[in-house]
Amino acid sequence: MKIRWGIIGCGGIARRRTIPGLVGAENAELVAVMDTNETFAKEVAEEFGVAHAFSDMDSLLALDEVDAVYIATPVFCHKEQVIAAANAGKHILLEKPMALTSREAEELKELCDAKGVRLSIGLMMRFHAYHEEIRRLISEGAIGDIVSIRSQFACWYPDIPGVWRQDKSKSGGGALVDLGVHCIDLVQYVTGLRCIEVAAFCDTQTFSYGVDDSASVLLRMNNGALCVIESNFNIPDDAVTGKIEIYGTAGSIRADGTLAQEEVGTVQILRSDAAKGYDAAQTRAGNSATCIDVPTGNMYTKEVERFGDAIINGTPSPVPAEDAIFVQKIVEAAYISEAEKRFVAV
Ligand SMILES: NC(=O)c1ccc[n+]([C@@H]2O[C@H](COP(=O)([O-])OP(=O)(O)OC[C@H]3O[C@@H](n4cnc5c(N)ncnc54)[C@H](O)[C@@H]3O)[C@@H](O)[C@H]2O)c1
């Protein structure tokens, strides 16, 4: 069985990554694309041999042959589009962040549940083969009790007049909302830990737009581990790589360049001798890191395929809305922490 897909907002990430991924998914068929920019819709339909191209959402949602939609529009459009798609009985793969606020996101989840449509969120970093392997290793206790975590995701995003991402009323926030959400979701996903408290600095240091171009956020996790999330719009792309580092009482796992739009990067694991005593000289010789090497694929193909499987088999969504809502609550706590200069419980 194949899920027949329609795309709402096909001109940005959809065109660059998700549609090329979707057409490679075994259980997916692309039947319709839509974008308010008619030229984008027509071009994408031609490029991928899609039967229907629309510039209005209602025409796409009226198609009986569409089982599920992928929504990849500016954040401020998500609410109205999820409501329309759920009312039309379509399953929904919704790009991150779900909505402008966690409250709005909760309403969307409740509506999808009430309408009996499935919902999954586009936090596709989970599907990088290396991240899945890190999760497996940690669940086996490979590095002991986790005590410290770092994750960084950044890019260069200068002032561009009129763009939705630089307007808080349209994006919900800046680097933290756009990039940091991937880090926050990933650290919880791979470790199985959950954030309980947040302290943050969020600034706009380099550019003049109304959202953060720099955010450094400290999370206290439910086992006591401390975690730093760094997201920036003001570091040149070639000067930074997306990373996640997890340190435990028996070793560490360090992934460099894996937070990306392709399954790339490197991962090193170091397992230390847990029986080792105190070494005043802090000698670091003796243990050496080994590289993790597992077969990689296309995160976007997996994102579509696994959600398709969940729809077909009635199994849980691969990125449940409640996880994305919790990530959004952490982001909101960080902005409160910056504004009120205090630690915020989540
Ligand atoms: N998971 C990822 O890898 C990833 C990467 C980038 C962006 N995103 C997310 O995807 C979403 C879109 O981001 P983007 O970078 O593609 O933005 P974008 O501005 O590059 O593209 C958005 C597209 O939506 C179209 N659009 C605008 N309003 C519309 C409407 N009302 N109905 C239909 N189409 C409309 C635009 O014409 C454009 O083609 C955001 O939620 C963003 O956070 C996810």
Provide the token pair at 83: 């409501």
Instruction: State which ligand 1 atom lies nearest to the alpha carbon of 13.
Output: 16
24 Cβ inside 6 Å of ligand 1? no
Contact 266, 255 (CB under 8 A): yes
Q: What are the C-alpha distances in Å from 271 to residues 41, 79, 207, 278?
A: 51, 46, 42, 17
Strand 251-256 to strand 266-271: parallel, antiparallel, or no bridges (unpaired)?
Answer: antiparallel
40 Cβ inside 6 Å of ligand 1? yes
Contact 233, 204 (CB under 8 A): no
* pLDDT tens digits for range 205-260: 999 999 999 999 999 999 999 999 999 999 999 999 999 999 999 999 999 999 99
Distance of CA 273 from the midpoint of ligand 1 (Å): 48
Beta carbons within 10 angstroms of residue 328's beta carbon: 27
* pLDDT tens digits for range 148-180: 999 999 999 999 999 999 999 999 999 999 999
State residue 96's pLDDT score.
98
Provide the residue ranges of all domains of the chain, joining segments of one domain with +: 3-124+312-319, 129-299+328-345
Distance of CA 77 from the midpoint of ligand 1 (Å): 9
21 Cβ inside 6 Å of ligand 1? no
Q: What are the C-alpha distances in Å from 247 to residues 125, 145, 159, 185, 254?
A: 20, 8, 37, 17, 8
* pLDDT tens digits for range 101-136: 999 999 999 999 999 999 999 999 999 999 999 999
Question: Could you give the CA distance from residue 322 to residue 219 in angstroms, rounded to a whole number?
Answer: 19
Instruction: State which ligand 1 atom lies nearest to the alpha carbon of 164.
Output: 19
Instruction: State which ligand 1 atom lies nearest to the alpha carbon of 75.
Output: 41
Distance of CA 5 from the midpoint of ligand 1 (Å): 17
Cis peptide leading into 236, omega within 30 of 0?
no
242 Cβ inside 6 Å of ligand 1? no
CATH superfamily, with its number, for domain 129-299+328-345: Dihydrodipicolinate Reductase; domain 2 (3.30.360.10)
State residue 283's pLDDT score.
77
Distance of CA 134 from the midpoint of ligand 1 (Å): 30
234 Cβ inside 6 Å of ligand 1? no
Q: Which of 47, 55, 73, 108 to mutate to test the pocket of ligand 1 (most atoms within 8 A of CB)?
A: 73
- The reported pTM is 0.97
Distance of CA 96 from the midpoint of ligand 1 (Å): 10
Question: Could you give the CA distance from residue 37 to residue 92 in angstroms, rounded to a whole number?
Answer: 21
User: What percent of the chain clears pLDDT 70, i.e. is strictly above it?
Assistant: 99
- Nearest to residue 100, comparing CAs of 77, 132, 126? 77
13 Cβ inside 6 Å of ligand 1? yes
3-124+312-319 and 129-299+328-345: identical CATH topology? no
Give the up-direction half-sphere exposure of residue 261: CA atoms within 13 A in the CB hemisphere.
12
Distance of CA 128 from the midpoint of ligand 1 (Å): 21
State residue 281's pLDDT score.
81
CATH superfamily, with its number, for domain 3-124+312-319: NAD(P)-binding Rossmann-like Domain (3.40.50.720)
19 Cβ inside 6 Å of ligand 1? no
Question: Could you give the CA distance from residue 33 to residue 247 in angstroms, rounded to a whole number?
Answer: 44
